[in-house]
Amino acid sequence: MNSTLESLIALQHLDKTIFDIRQRVENIPQALQQLDELLTESEGKVSKTRASIEDQERTRRSKESEIEANSEQMKKYQGQLLQVKTNKEYSALLAEINGLKSKNTLIEDDIIELMESIERAKHALTQVQGETAQVKRRVEEEKQRYLVEQQEWQQQLAQEQQTRDAKAQEFEPAILREYSRLLQMRNGVAVAAVTENGTCTGCYVALTPQMFAEVKTKDTLHRCPVCLRFLYAESA
């Protein structure tokens, strides 16, 4: 195989490896952010459940205070029953007392419902706290794994870049400039294989029989007439 073509294939392989490593390294901050969001969401469920319990507890205490106030008022009315002089006044006080009793009964029903709801919420809180603890452990483990991988990838990137720089020294400046230009223009693929039926894998154009035959000889550099990529026979 033509030595320049062989070096171009090797250089592109290095550039592909470097690109892939950089992509992985660049994706790490997003992955870490997603882990933070996952933990924040889980912690938010804990806060929301806890806030619901506190809100219901406040409502329960308020209703208990209302019962106490009604009970105190009933005691006053009951004391006044002994002092009234007419049946009309007696009936009016009795109606007030019965009304307060009915209110307290309804409030007590509300309190029972609240207590049951609070109990369910406390059970849910225990559950989401457990889930959040698991999420936190998982997030910490995943973060540590990503940081270790990031360090390994950065070391590998430095090694691959060093190898790539050395390989680039093998080329004539004009060839290297053209390769670099194609790399940017053609989505990171400057060297394309030609299939067994004579098709450029870069742009899928069919080469002429003569050009395909020349590419298969591997003796000289050939470029696709459409996408301008450097070509090599796939069997190579």
Tokens 């309190």 sit on residue: 111
- Please tell me the distance from the alpha carbon of residue 199 to that of residue 155, in angstroms, as a whole number: 38
- Please tell me the distance from the alpha carbon of residue 209 to that of residue 218, in angstroms, as a whole number: 15
Averaged pLDDT for residues 132-147: 97
Mean pLDDT of the chain: 95
Assign 234 a pLDDT band (cuts: 50, 70, 90).
Answer: confident
Q: Closest by alpha carbon to 176, among 7, 19, 31?
A: 7
What domains can be seen in the chain, in order of their start residue?
25-169 (1.10.287.1490), 172-236 (no CATH)
- Please tell me the distance from the alpha carbon of residue 186 to that of residue 122, in angstroms, as a whole number: 60
Q: Where are the beta strands (DSSP E) in the chain?
A: 191-194, 222-223, 230-233
Q: Closest by alpha carbon to 200, among 227, 219, 220?
A: 227
Q: Using a CB cutoff of 8 Å and minimum separation of 24, what contacts does 190-193 make?
A: 190/8, 190/12, 190/229, 190/230, 191/5, 191/8, 191/9, 191/11, 191/12, 191/229, 191/230, 191/231, 191/232, 192/224, 192/227, 192/229, 192/230, 192/231, 192/232, 193/231, 193/232, 193/233, 193/234
Q: What is the pLDDT of residues 65-104, one digit of tens each?
A: 999 999 999 999 999 999 999 999 999 999 999 999 999 9
pTM for the full model? 0.71
Assign 236 a pLDDT band (cuts: 50, 70, 90).
Answer: very low
- Residue 209 identity (one-letter amino acid): P
In a 10 Å sphere around its CB, with 0-12 CB exposed, 13-18 middle and 19+ buried, how is residue 188 labelled?
A: middle
* Beta-carbon-side half-sphere exposure of residue 225 (alpha carbons within 13 Å): 10
Averaged pLDDT for residues 144-155: 96
